[in-house]
Amino acid sequence: MDEISTELDSLNTEVIGQLNNWVDMIGGGDIGRWIGAFVVLIVFFILKRVLAAAILGGMRRLAHQNKQSTVANVLDAFALPLQALVMIVGIYFAIELLDLSLNIETVLFDATSLAAGFSVFWAMFRAVEPLGLSFNRLIGRFGAGLGDDLRQFFIRGIKTLIAVIGIVILLEGWGIDVSAFLGGLGLAGMAVALAAKDSVANVFGGLTIFADNLYKRGDWVETPHFEGTIEVVGLRATKVRTFAKALVTMPNAQIVDSPVINWSRMTHRRIKMSIGLEYRTTAKQMEAIVDQLRDFLKNDEDVAQTAVAQMVHLSDFGASSINIDLYYFTTTTDWVTWREIRNRHIIAFKRIVEEAGAGFAFPSQSLYVETMPENPLSSSDDQRETRKIG
């Protein structure tokens, strides 16, 4: 590091010496130095345009040809800070040519040093966003929706870190003692951490959601607190759009501590129903109906045939019907498509029962009278004596 600093100082001295010699050749004096400083600024302005158009432009085109879009985007991010840095260097050499007082030179050199440091951190800050695109392969296993949220979280975190480091370094460059301030923050941080323990718990809850891949944007999720579609997976909270179209914001710590059902990750969707046959249905008819129901499900392409249960059985004698229990799964998990399949199946099951000559039972009650009274009361027995008035 010391060798690099020595080489830069040597190069700086040599360049300034050559510029002074050139100014002496054109006459020297205050006017000559101002003219030389102006020419230096013009040269570096042209150099800035050449750097942007020729060098960076050529490198961007080469990166696009080699399908290196990340490199091209990073070069685009570097363009403005590098041009600003070139002009700052030109201003530095122009100041060196001018015969200014020591106090003015010190202020101007400090300002150019601050501007140069700002340009470096500005370039790093702008490069974070395109570099974040290269995280796609790394976080692709989390899924598209959750991967986007995770990438945005890291981008914001890195940008914040660069901004904090840049501010600290620039303040130190101006002679401001930041260490004492940071030490005071450390003491106050304990109190802040105790007061913000819930927020810290939510942050760790968000990291747990990212790490365990509990859900992503667009998933249908059910917890004891809510049920709906995930809209935003944030670092502190998750926003859910319920089926009533209300927006629920739930802290991540509460979600992580609760059971989470992710319905969007169903491999199949279940259909469960019961068919009630009339008690007058014969055993032969029931056997035929059960066999036809099983054949229908086995030959339906929308019904899952492997890895899941498929059951059609007579289940019990009900209060007013003999019940057939159907339990099977569809190949699709889409809710609307599932409802259409269920609708089609109900019509098909109805047709199977009708073709077998049977019928669907409905809730009913039968009243059986074993005997009737032998001598029912006649109307004459219930007559009352007529009271005579006279």
Angle at 345 between CA 339 and CA 349, to 5 degrees: 150
273: left (phi over 0), alpha (psi -120 to 50) or beta: beta
Q: In terms of C-beta density within 10 A (0-12 exposed, 13-18 middle, 19 or more buried), how is residue 244 classed?
A: exposed
pLDDT of residue 378: 54
pLDDT of residue 185: 56
Q: In terms of C-beta density within 10 A (0-12 exposed, 13-18 middle, 19 or more buried), how is residue 228 classed?
A: buried
- What is each CA distance from 54 to 63, 123, 241, in whole angstroms? 14, 19, 50
pLDDT of residue 15: 61
pLDDT of residue 190: 56
- Torsions phi, psi for 186 (to 5 deg): -65, -40
* DSSP H or E stretch at residue 37: helix 29-50
Distance, in Å, from the CA atom of 187 to the CA atom of 49, rounded to the nearest integer, reads 49
pLDDT of residue 194: 57
Q: Three-class SS of residue 316?
A: strand
Distance, in Å, from the CA atom of 245 to the CA atom of 247, rounded to the nearest integer, reads 7
Q: Three-class SS of residue 164?
A: helix
- Torsions phi, psi for 233 (to 5 deg): -110, 100
Distance, in Å, from the CA atom of 99 to the CA atom of 33, rounded to the nearest integer, reads 8
Give the global pTM. 0.51
Distance, in Å, from the CA atom of 78 to the CA atom of 52, rounded to the nearest integer, reads 10
pLDDT of residue 47: 79
Distance, in Å, from the CA atom of 75 to the CA atom of 283, rounded to the nearest integer, reads 80
- Torsions phi, psi for 262 (to 5 deg): -100, 95
In order along the chain (390 residues), what is the average pLDDT of each group of 10 residues?
A: 50 60 58 70 78 68 63 75 82 73 74 81 80 61 54 74 77 66 57 61 79 85 91 85 92 89 92 94 95 95 92 93 95 93 96 94 75 61 50
Count CA atoms within 13 Å of residue 374 on its CB side. 0
Distance, in Å, from the CA atom of 62 to the CA atom of 54, rounded to the nearest integer, reads 12
pLDDT of residue 310: 94
240: left (phi over 0), alpha (psi -120 to 50) or beta: beta
